[in-house]
Amino acid sequence: MNILYGVVGEGLGHAMRSHVVIEHLEKQGHEVKIVTSGKAHEFLRKNHRNIDEIGGYGFAFNESGVDLDASLRKLLNEIPTKAPHNLKRFFRLSKSFKPNVIISDFESFAYLFGKYNHIPVISIDNMQVINRCRLDVDIPLKIMDDYLMAKGLVKAKLPGCYHYLVTSYFFPEITKQNTTLHHPILRKEVLAARPENRGHVLVYQTSKSNPDLLRILDQVDEKFIVYGFGRDEILGNVTLKNFSNEGFVSDLASCKAVIANAGFSLIGEALHLGKPYLAIPLERQFEQMLNAMYLKKLGYGDYCSKLDAKNAGTFLGQLDLYSENLEKYTGNGNWELLSHLDDLLKEIA
């Protein structure tokens, strides 16, 4: 089959899981053409030749999280330049590639291409859990507006797909048709990693998100390996490391716990390897807050709005409890979702 695969360009989580799915599809003999933007394009073009860059629209961030006002200004500024480019690419693609099915990881260009040409669209992402399931966590009143905004955005993003393959490490009740929940898609390096405990805590934070991070960690009697500062240096009980994929996976597999933002991909990898997780969700980003709340609800870790020595110490003092709860986590790699995707493609064919 010919498959047009759209990947949202914001961050790397979408790109990394899409790479896993695309590799599987290509091994099955399908012809896959990718459309994406931003960081996802930079990542995917290293491994795939049949890829087109489109104009993508993303959020603007400040030191606390998502800046909604700046995001709106950014969108309005980008539309005049990116929309005409995307429109030309849209109709050029109509002549050069004839897909039988569209797959979208929260990406609108490929979705709209499918709807315009009456081609079935399959959604693969983690965001649809917000709209297609009954969430069984208590959402604080102070973030209710963020929840309603996120739900409205997700509902409007990819309506009327042939099927929604939703990746998740929590499994609330599904409330809408043509929807299935699956464990997170994991890259092959994580699947191949052997978990152990070398005694360090892995921290993935930047100086911009927490300028006092190194001072805070210095007050905690633990050994920390920190990614996000863009340099290699040893400072007392803290080892700063420049990012490398191999090094990061190795430090993740051998840590005793993780402290990081509440991004879905890293949480999924940490839980697969049995690592307790302290999440610091970005402000005004409901998906991260939801991930953090379910970490606490399931007993796999905890969350806080801002890291300090006290809540870091409290979290690290309960690692035995979190580790015991993680023994019940039954993530089964990628085979279930990929098998279901194969069945969907056979139905469509």
Do the beta carbons of residue 94 and residue 4 sit within 8 Å? no
pLDDT tens figures, 95-124: 788 999 999 999 988 999 999 999 999 999
Q: Which domain holds residue 296?
A: 189-326
- Considering the domain architecture, whether residues 266 and 310 belong to the same structural domain is answered as yes
Contact 180, 142 (CB under 8 A): no
Same domain, 148 and 103: yes
Token pair of 9 as six digits: 């360009």
177 and 210, same domain (yes or no) = no
DSSP string of 204-220, one letter each residue: E--TTT-TTHHHHHHTS
Q: Distance (Å, rounded) from C-alpha 262 to C-alpha 314? A: 18
pLDDT of residue 291: 98
Angle, in degrees to the nearest 10, between helices 13-27 and 264-272: 70
User: Do 72 and 51 reside in the same domain of the chain?
Assistant: yes
Count of domains observed in the chain? 2
CA distance 5 to 3: 6
CB 208, CB 65: distance < 8 Å: no
Considering the domain architecture, whether residues 69 and 166 belong to the same structural domain is answered as yes
Residues 111, 174 share a domain: yes
Is the domain of 238 the same as that of 206?
Answer: yes
Does the model's pTM come out above 0.75?
A: yes
Q: Which stretches in the chain have pLDDT values below 70?
A: 55-88, 91, 206-209
pLDDT (0 to 100) of residue 83: 58
Q: Which of 140, 175, 170 is nearest to 155 (CA)?
A: 175
Residue 271 and residue 340: Cα distance in Å, rounded? 22
> Do 206 and 296 belong together in one domain?
yes
Which residues 6+ apart lie within 8 Å of 56 measured at CB? 8, 9, 10, 36, 37, 38, 40, 82
pLDDT of residue 322: 98
57-65, Cβ contacts within 8 angstroms, sequence gap of 24 or more = 57/82, 58/9, 58/10, 59/10, 59/285, 61/282, 63/208, 63/209, 63/211, 64/282, 64/283, 64/284, 65/281, 65/282, 65/283, 65/284, 65/285
Same domain, 252 and 304: yes
Do 316 and 197 share a structural domain? Answer: yes
Quick check: helix, strand or coil at residue 312? helix
73 and 174 part of one domain: yes
CB 244 within 8 A of CB 236: no
Cα 47 to Cα 21: distance, rounded to the nearest angstrom: 13
Which CATH number is 213's domain given?
A: 3.40.50.2000
Domain match, 64 and 171 both: yes
Angle of helix 108-116 versus helix 68-96 axis, rounded to 10: 40
Q: What is the pLDDT of residue 85?
A: 61
- How much is the pLDDT for 66? 46
